[in-house]
A and B are shown apart, each in its own frame.
Chain A
Amino acid sequence: MSDLEIWIVIVSLAIATAITRSGFWLVGHKVTIPKRVQEMLRYAPSCALAAIIAPDLLLDGGTIHLELANAKLIAGIASVAWFAWRRRMLETIVFGMLLFTALRLLPGLLHSYQ
């Protein structure tokens, strides 16, 4: 793509963000949402957050990894437990990153000592 085309893409991405994020803020009070739909939407944030992180935890290049060698999955599960216990977010992120890094490097280290 030429420089100009890339800038057009960037502006069109900004417009897409504005439409989806702000569109309803601008016209929302003119639209009435049925009560049932509103009740259902209460669950949207948690479902969206889960749908964002689940592929990162379970997928690697299109294949599902449920085994112990999946460092992200193990570190993710351990972080859930750590947060449920300690209730400290920053601490949980540091703990999870350290565990993830350790799990990622461990097989190589073990291998080099063999």
Chain B
Amino acid sequence: MRDQDFATHDAAAWRDGFRTGLPTLFGIGAWGLVVGVAMIKSGLTMPQAMGMTLLVFAGSAQLAALPLIAANAPIWVIFVTALVINLRFVIFSVLLAPHFASLPWHKRLGLGFVSGDISVALYLQRYPDPEPAPGKVSFLKGLLYPNCAAWQIGSVIGIFLGNAVPTEWGLGFAGTLAIVCILVPMVASRPALCGVLVAAAVSVLAAGLPYKLGLLAAVVVGMGTAMIVEETGDKLRARRQENRKADHV
């Protein structure tokens, strides 16, 4: 396939991506709102908070940076913390990059920068294989751009509401619920379910690790578990088939 076909705007695929991500936008917006409120409450000025939300666009890294800023931590410590929290995006980009290798570099830089957790999960459900297909790029954009817009709008509203939103409302829980909905169909196989349960357990037990390393440990241990379960499942099946053959002989 020619690269042009792969990258040309496909309005139907864009709308398809938009519709796929639409139900998550509410949760994303609520999450952005919480981060916006948190930035103001932690003492950032309005221009600083606006700058952070527009330039950084990584909610968990922003939230983790706030107490470090308040505590006057060295800048390199804040930088390393953000790198570690975002390490899961390296794994996501390993999965997504082969799909879009033929795009010009600035498009890859831009699309990569706005690829959040939920969008990547939804995209990979639709296109698990990296072969170029018509409309792929448009579908991804239909997921990423509204997702980014919902986040930014929520965040800016949060910045302006500032101290008016009580923390006890727990608005951030809407983001957790959006992820719950995406996760449920993803655990349809036994290896995936085992991996997810182990990852959840590790993330809770290792939550106290510095630099949010618990998140990374959870992903690595969860993936390994899923792989082991998959391979033992394959071996058991193979043995059962052999036994069946032996019975027939």
A residues near B (Cβ < 8 Å) are 1, 3, 5-26, 28-29, 33, 38-59, 62, 64, 72, 75-76, 79-80, 83-84, 88-90, 92-93, 96-97, 100-101, 104
By secondary structure, the B interface counts as helix
Residues of B contacting A38 with CB < 8 Å?
94
Are B226 and A43 in contact (CB-based, < 8 A)? yes
Residues of A contacting B90 with CB < 8 Å?
20, 23-24
Option from B75, B98, B110, B202 in Cβ contact (under 8 Å) with A12: B75
Are A43 and B227 in contact (CB-based, < 8 A)? yes
Q: With contacts A7-B51, A22-B108 known, is A43 near B222, CB below 8 A? A: yes
Are B23 and A54 in contact (CB-based, < 8 A)? no
Are B27 and A93 in contact (CB-based, < 8 A)? yes
A92 to B65, CA, bound (A): 31
Most chain-A CB neighbours within 10 Å: which of B52, B72, B180?
A: B180
**9 A-B contact pairs sorted by A residue (CB < 8 Å):** A6-B44, A21-B115, A25-B111, A28-B97, A48-B91, A50-B183, A54-B204, A54-B218, A90-B22
| Closest B residue by C-beta to A88 | B23
Total residue contacts A-B, CB cutoff 8 A:
268
Most chain-B CB neighbours within 10 Å: which of A14, A17, A72?
A: A17
Number of interface residues of B (CB under 8 A): 94
User: How many whole Å from B77's CB to the nearest CB in chain A?
Assistant: 10
| B35 beta carbon closer than 8 Å to chain A | no
A33 to B93, CA, bound (A): 12
Residues of B contacting A76 with CB < 8 Å?
176-177, 180
